[in-house]
Amino acid sequence: MQKNGLLGQLIQGLCCLPGVGPKTAQRMAFQLLQHNRNGARLLAETLLRAIDEIGYCRECRTLTEDSLCGICADSSRDSSLICIVENPADVWIIDQAAVFKGRYFVLHGRLSPLDGIGPDELGLDILEQRLATGSVNELILATSSTVEGEATAYFIGELAGKYHVQASRIAHGVPMGGELEFIDSGTLSHAFNGRKQI
Ligand code: ZN
């Protein structure tokens, strides 16, 4: 079988999925072509549309196909309460747990000076502008409990203090070094309700 033929290219392409190695990619490719061409077509078309149409919300920087995401556009949500997260996936996870009715701000990473990731790379200049307007009452820092996540939370806490905005850190039940995507909604609920002012 030709490795650089179309089938080989498909298998190689599938390897870009997280957690998918060559063997799994091979299984996926054969399964799709032999048993589910309709599903494969839908996947391919949706993926293309998603790549072309999904960008970032101008307010909170999460993923959305509109200039303003559904959460930022929802006037019933509390815009004075902002939950700071590292990734768009965290917004999705926290919102599914339905423990939070404010807005979000996505950093797209965490402070890591050695990797050249400073405050501007995380959009903190945009966040600071928001704090300066006086419309924000509280920042809930939901960055990961990794060393960089803690350092990022501390830095943003200081920034909040500069504008007399209360900052709190989600606390209970979040394991050390934990990333939000591995936490169940019950634990997440405790983490929000038990947040500590910093
Ligand atoms: Zn938004």
pLDDT at 152 over 50: yes
Better-scored residue on pLDDT, 192 or 102: 102
Distance (Å) from CA 102 to ligand 1 centroid: 11
15, burial (CB in 10 Å: exposed 0-12, middle 13-18, buried 19+): middle
Residue 87 near residue 64 (C-beta atoms within 8 A)? no
Cβ-proximal residues to 137 (8 Å cutoff; 6+ apart), any chain = 80, 81, 165, 166
Ligand 1 centroid–CA 27 distance in Å is: 38
Q: Measured at the alpha carbon of residue 69, what is the angle toward residues 67 and 71, in degrees to the nearest 5?
A: 150
Q: How many residues does the chain have?
A: 198
pLDDT at 144: 87
- Ligand 1 geometric centre to CA of 126 (Å): 13
- Angle among Cα 7, 17, 38 to the nearest 5 degrees reads 55
Contact 169, 157 (CB under 8 A): yes
Distance from the CA of 23 to the center of ligand 1, in angstroms? 38
pLDDT at 176: 47
pTM of the model: 0.82
Distance between Cα 61 and ligand 1 center (Å): 6
106 C-alpha vs ligand 1 centroid, how far in Å?
Answer: 9
Which domains does the chain show, CATH number per domain?
Answer: 6-53 (1.10.8.420), 78-169 (3.40.1360.10)
107 with 98: CB under 8 angstroms?
no
Q: What pLDDT is attached to residue 193?
A: 76
Q: What is the per-residue pLDDT for 45?
A: 98
Over residues 28-64, the pLDDT tens digits come to 999 999 999 999 999 999 999 999 999 999 999 999 9
> Residue 178: pLDDT above 70?
no
